[in-house]
């Protein structure tokens, strides 16, 4: 049986985190919630729902993901697949098996859950998110010949391939860094369409002007950095 572990970065997701954990399929061996300096009951609710909870007080999506990877690296037996998903319940965790299927069935290295328009709840993505995804993936298509259409956070990757990427971004650039490095390392990748709904609570990135600007700068920074390599 394939060993699949899930990493969920979580900052003030007390209202949603248990729902996310509950809907993750039994095919997963461990659910790892990284409490990223929350001021609410995210940690307590995640533990009560059965997740392993790690603490990362340095705020940043990438910091939280790296903490989860650091924990897994210390385990005696590494998993075959790592799945990343947000803790805000905007994705449908029950679609996890659909996201990992191309790895298991077609030997893909990386699978992105693409939030296609026809499967998105109206208003689930802000105009700046839609535009940002379009711009980033269009630039990757022009500069690198990529076929990505989304920077969706719901994604699966072979653990050994993830290690070869040497991920380093600490904040908003984590997703695009992974995709750019997958291109550079010639990983076999694909996308699968996934459903997407309005998140529980306010987004820390797209829900604020500051967050949207910083995320946009970070994402474009990674793309242009790699265009000169």
Q: Which pLDDT score, from 0 to 100, does residue 206 have?
A: 47
What's the pLDDT at 207? 47
Residues 6+ apart with CB under 8 A from 74: none
Tokens 């994604």 sit on residue: 155
Q: What is the CA angle 126-207-168, rounded to 5?
A: 100
Distances (CA, A) of 178 to 29, 64, 110, 200: 23, 15, 9, 26
DSSP 196: B
- Please report, for residues 70, 81, 154, 217, the alpha-carbon distance to residue 97 in angstroms, rounded to integers and kept in the order given: 24, 11, 12, 33
**Within its chain, how far is the Cα of 164 from the centroid?**
17
Low-confidence stretches of the chain (pLDDT beneath 50): 206-207
Q: Tokens standing for 208? A: 């604020």
Q: What is the rounded CA–CA span in Å between residue 87 and residue 8?
A: 6
Q: Which two tokens stand for residue 67?
A: 């903490």
Distance CA 143, CA 136 (A): 10
Question: Using CA atoms, how far apart are residues 138 and 161, in angstroms rounded to an integer?
Answer: 25
pLDDT of 212 reads 64
């Amino acid at each position: 049986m394939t060993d699949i572990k899930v990493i969920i970065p979580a900052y003030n997701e007390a209202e949603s985190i248990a729902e996310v954990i509950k809907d993750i399929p039994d095919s997963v061996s461990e659910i790892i919630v990284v409490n990223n300096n929350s001021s609410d009951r995210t940690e307590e609710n995640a533990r009560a729902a059965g997740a392993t909870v790690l603490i990362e007080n340095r705020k940043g999506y990438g910091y939280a993901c790296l903490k989860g990877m650091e924990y897994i690296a210390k385990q005696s037996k590494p998993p075959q697949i790592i799945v990343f998903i947000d803790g805000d319940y905007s994705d449908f965790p029950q679609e996890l098996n659909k996201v990992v299927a191309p790895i298991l069935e077609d030997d893909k290295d990386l699978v992105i859950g693409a939030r296609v328009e026809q499967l998105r709840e109206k208003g689930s993505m802000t105009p700046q998110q839609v535009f940002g995804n379009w711009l980033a993936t269009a630039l990757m298509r022009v500069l690198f010949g990529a076929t990505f259409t989304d920077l969706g956070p719901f994604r699966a990757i072979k653990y050994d391939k993830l290690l070869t990427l040497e991920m380093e971004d600490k904040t908003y650039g984590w997703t695009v860094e992974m995709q750019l490095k997958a291109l550079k390392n010639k990983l076999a990748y694909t996308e699968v369409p996934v459903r997407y709904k309005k998140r529980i609570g306010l987004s820390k990135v797209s829900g604020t002007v500051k967050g949207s600007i910083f995320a946009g700068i970070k994402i474009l920074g990674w793309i242009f950095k790699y265009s000169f390599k």
